[in-house]
Structure 1
Amino acid sequence: MTAPEGGQAALRKAGRRARRLDARDPLAPFLGRFAPVPEGRLHLDGGSLGRLPAATPALLDRVVRGDRGGRLTPVGTQWRDLPQRIGDRMAETVLGARPGEVVAGDSTDVNLHKLTVAALAARRGRRTVVVDDDNSPTDRDVVAGVAAEQERALRTVHTHPDAGLDMETLRAAVDEDVAVVVLPLVSPRSGALLDMAEVHEIAHAQGALVLWDLSHAVGAVDLQLTATGADMAVAATYRHLMAGPGCPALLYVRRELQPCAGQPVDGGYGHREQLAMRPRYDPDPAVRRFPTGTPPALSLVAAEPALDLLAEAGMAAVHAKSRALTGFLAELAGAVLEPCGLRPAGPAVPERRGAHVAYRHPQAGKLVPALAEAELFVDFLPPDRVRLSPGPLSTRFADVVEAVRRFREVLAGFGADGSRCPSAGAYRRGP
């Protein structure tokens, strides 16, 4: 069987399988609860921006025209508490955490800075911060900046760019001088998913804390922060939490750590008696001390419709669908795309993978815009990676088949060595 015939046969077989999977998918009805996109457009870029829930525009319109236009009632009586109220919803719905452990506010970078400082304050006398070299550059920059300011040592451990962080490598890096270990639960590049409980066991055995960046996990991975003994975490909310660009990040601190976890930005909103105009700063003893400045009420409200969807679906079902989608995608890509020069750049085992799959191609920077011209939207990660993130509530298995079909036709002009792939053909839609 020739390369073109093999690819077509694999796509036809996958199309039949996708129809069966979609027919029995318990989450299929959620697809109709997102704002429509132009006909034929496929979004596999949920790792950079989640789809817009259909209820969000109407909610924001009601808040702006009704609650704000009507003299801030009833939202006006509660807007100062939005960081805690939305945080508690996130704790219950997507984090497996307890009330009073999460607030929504500020950006991921700001929250990461605050919690790195807080972790060092909670482990005074320890001089080392551990990071890995596969974390996002901005996370590493933030942590390195705090370490420099606090005159602490920064210890960087090497992570395999495709397979993820080896636990024995981490174990060797954590000793009694380590105050905090800062890691992404899901690698933004490879999609590698760490074992949260095992990382906690390694760090806690030496008395160190763990600070997680959950940006590529929350809303797609079934997280259980309380059950696994998590210490601290931050996360963006515009990815799998689908809260929209500019929506504040989340910040988590385990209840038992809160009294000793001070933050570096004192202000009225973190005061024990908020806006009481006291002459001396008295920080709130709980997680309420962490938000800085006036809460961005409209952006916070925009997080609720997606939380409604995720709560209704249940995170166990969402995570199962995510694994099924990425597994189906990886299997089909192996049969159809890898013979055309695409190379896997993430864990092969679904249980070791978060909510996206990654591939290498020497012309990835040109390939991704070409895919967008075919109305298939994915992410480019310099220098040579393509990231595909199917949203569990907004993607059908049939969409994955069509995405691979389009990818194959576009990829025909971008062979591994820059030459044209033998399976070149005209792009066309259809089963």
Structure 2
Amino acid sequence: MSEQLEKRAAGAGRPASGTAGAEQLRKDALALDAEDALASARELFTLDEGVYLDGNSLGALPRQVPLRMADVIGREWGELRIRSWDESGWWTAPERIGDRIAPLVGAAPGQIVVGDSTSVNVFKALVGAVRLADAGQGPGGAPGAGDGSVRDEIVVDVSTFPTDGYIAQSAARLTGRRLVPVEPGDVPAAVGPRTAAVLVNHVDFRTGRLHDLPGITAAVRAAGAISVWDLCHSAGALPVGLDAHGVDLAVGCTYKYLNGGPGAPAYLYVAARHQAGFDSPLPGWNSHADPFGMTPGYAPADGAARGRVGTPDILSMLALESALDVWDGVSIDAVRAKSLALTDFFLECVRAYVPEGLVTSLTPEEHGQRGSQVALRCADAPAVMKELIARGVVGDLRRPDVLRFGFTPLYVGFADAERAARVLAEVLADVPAAPTR
């Protein structure tokens, strides 16, 4: 794949639009697939003959999961019953599975706990971040600027996924802070001695724009505040580097690029340096130092376990654990390289097949600013996506006018990208739409 990509990056052999161009693109797709070191991973998933480009909403089913779940339900639950909490390792699953996710987001073991939804974990992380700042556990070591001021602001990504915004509003009310919505690129200029915590999405869910996690985290740290990152659209698609970049807290879902299944539990990352001081706003019995002591007073557990709340959702958690087997031996750097190649190729095919003016890409061309999806603005987008799905190309929609195509490198190939662009052009010819602006 590398030789082909080098030629394309240099602009060599780029086809013109039209029949000859389409034939060349199909040949290029086959050549790229033939050189793809990750191509064999597709066989690990249950897929049909269509093109599935919605893994940024729900990942495909790994083939081994149904057999694992049959054992969990029939033997561990059906036969062992309550003994499975110990004998089958149910009790330790949140931390054990967290350690399997850790390498995919650049974290050392012992810093990630799996459980609850992304929304619940955003709440835990953001309120916990403010409490860390109040306790003087930010990088500056002081609650404020040292001049009597307090850290009374929470900075939030203005383009954030709506739930994150709702929770940030609630966390601000709960902690008596003022919410400061800013564009992610403006965070470094917005943070200062009054900033307690900053919540940013690593990848914009609408456009696929990748935000500068290292730079923003460094700016937050320099301001003495606590960083909280939402990794829902980056984990499993690109390197994150939580430890390397000094991230304080992070959350993410597991049903997108991690293929954990619908409603699979999310995860919470608490950097080791903050674990002793992390004060969760949801101190459930599962995070107690002596959970079976059933004492009225709360004493938090050590380590990542203090991010737990209630009884783990064992069935979905163990489905996730089995799904993570597809990552054995896979390099996240190789996944990132293929992701960029796929999205480059898809955009090239769109330019070749779709008449100018019918769609406009909202996804940055620059690799350093792109996640693993392509968002195209298109008039009458709901009708276009409905017809795409009917013709076997499954993407999704963000109203009113955005078509989203998620590229999961473990099971999406270059022929898929070419076919999706070609079918898109056919649909746009059949579903008349006004030019985009």
Q: TM-score, normalised by structure 2?
A: 0.89
The SS at the match of 2:293 is: coil
Q: In structure 2, do the counterparts of structure 1 residues 370 and 98 end up closer, same or farther at CA, with 3 Å as the change threshold?
A: same
Shift of 1:28: 0.8
2:60 to 42, 46, 51: 51
Shift of 1:338: 5.3
1:355 to 372, 380, 390: 372
1:89 to 90, 100, 104: 100
Do the aligned partners of 1:45 and 1:388 also contact (CA within 8 Å) in 2? yes
Do the aligned partners of 2:94 and 2:312 also contact (CA within 8 Å) in 1? yes
2:156 to 110, 128, 131: 131
Tell me, in whole angstroms, the C-alpha distance in 1 between the residues paired with 2:405 and 2:19: 21
Does residue 70 of structure 2 align to residue 61 of structure 1? Answer: yes
Q: In structure 2, do the counterparts of structure 1 residues 394 and 196 end up closer, same or farther at CA, with 3 Å as the change threshold?
A: same
Tell me, in whole angstroms, the C-alpha distance in 2 between the residues paired with 1:319 and 1:311: 16
2:226 to 198, 205, 209: 209
For 1:137, the aligned partner's letter is P
Q: Mark the runs of 5 or more structure 2 residues left unpaired by the alignment.
A: 1-15, 135-149
For 2:121, the aligned partner's letter is N
Q: Provide the residue aligned with 2:118 in structure 1.
A: 108
The SS at the match of 2:113 is: strand
Q: Provide the residue aligned with 1:99 in structure 2.
A: 109
Shift of 1:195: 2.1
CA deviation map 1:355-403 (0-9, x unaligned): 1011101211221111111111101011211110121011111111111
Does residue 311 of structure 2 align to residue 300 of structure 1? Answer: no
More deviation, 394-403/334-343: 334-343
Do the aligned partners of 2:116 and 2:265 also contact (CA within 8 Å) in 1? yes
Tell me, in whole angstroms, the C-alpha distance in 2 between the residues paired with 1:133 and 1:46: 25
For 1:274, the aligned partner's letter is P
Tell me, in whole angstroms, the C-alpha distance in 1 between the residues paired with 2:58 and 2:113: 21
Do the aligned partners of 2:252 and 2:266 also contact (CA within 8 Å) in 1? yes
The SS at the match of 2:299 is: coil
Q: Provide the residue aligned with 2:25 in structure 1.
A: 14
Tell me, in whole angstroms, the C-alpha distance in 2 between the residues paired with 1:355 and 1:244: 19
For 2:395, the aligned partner's letter is V
For 1:122, the aligned partner's letter is L
Does residue 71 of structure 2 align to residue 42 of structure 1? Answer: no
Tell me, in whole angstroms, the C-alpha distance in 1 between the residues paired with 2:404 and 2:284: 40
Tell me, in whole angstroms, the C-alpha distance in 2 between the residues paired with 1:243 and 1:308: 11
User: RMSD of aligned C-alpha atoms?
Assistant: 1.7
Q: Provide the residue aligned with 2:166 in structure 1.
A: 141
CA deviation map 1:179-212 (0-9, x unaligned): 1110000110111112211111111111011100
Shift of 1:415: 4.4
Tell me, in whole angstroms, the C-alpha distance in 2 between the residues paired with 1:75 and 1:123: 36
Shift of 1:36: 3.2
Do the aligned partners of 1:118 and 1:263 also contact (CA within 8 Å) in 2? yes
Q: Provide the residue aligned with 1:427 in structure 2.
A: none
2:36 to 16, 25, 38: 25
Do the aligned partners of 1:271 and 1:282 also contact (CA within 8 Å) in 2? yes
Q: In structure 2, do the counterparts of structure 1 residues 410 and 340 end up closer, same or farther at CA, with 3 Å as the change threshold?
A: farther
2:188 to 171, 175, 183: 171
Q: Provide the residue aligned with 1:424 in structure 2.
A: none
Shift of 1:84: 0.8
The SS at the match of 1:46 is: coil
Shift of 1:418: 7.0
CA deviation map 1:309-339 (0-9, x unaligned): 1232221111111111111111211222252
Shift of 1:285: 3.3
| Residues 280-291 of structure 1 mapped to structure 2, 5 A cutoff | 280-291=297-308
For 1:286, the aligned partner's letter is G
Q: Provide the residue aligned with 1:162 in structure 2.
A: none
Q: Which runs of 4+ in 1 moved over 6 A?
A: none
Does residue 282 of structure 2 align to residue 257 of structure 1? Answer: no
2:253 to 216, 230, 236: 236
Shift of 1:107: 0.3
For 2:383, the aligned partner's letter is K
Shift of 1:280: 1.6
More deviation, 102-111/325-334: 325-334
Does residue 334 of structure 2 align to residue 320 of structure 1? Answer: no
The SS at the match of 2:403 is: strand
CA deviation map 1:227-266 (0-9, x unaligned): 1111111111100000000110011010101112201112
CA deviation map 1:126-179 (0-9, x unaligned): 110001221111111111111012110000113xxxxxx43xx22221111101
Q: Percent identity among equivalent residues?
A: 36
Tell me, in whole angstroms, the C-alpha distance in 2 between the residues paired with 1:351 and 1:198: 12
Q: Mark the runs of 5 or more structure 1 residues left unpaired by the alignment.
A: 159-164, 420-431
For 1:293, the aligned partner's letter is G
For 1:312, the aligned partner's letter is G
Q: In structure 2, do the counterparts of structure 1 residues 87 and 153 end up closer, same or farther at CA, with 3 Å as the change threshold?
A: same
Shift of 1:416: 4.5
The SS at the match of 1:417 is: coil
Do the aligned partners of 1:310 and 1:318 also contact (CA within 8 Å) in 2? no
| Residues 332-411 of structure 1 mapped to structure 2, 5 A cutoff | 332-337=349-354, 339=356, 341-411=358-428
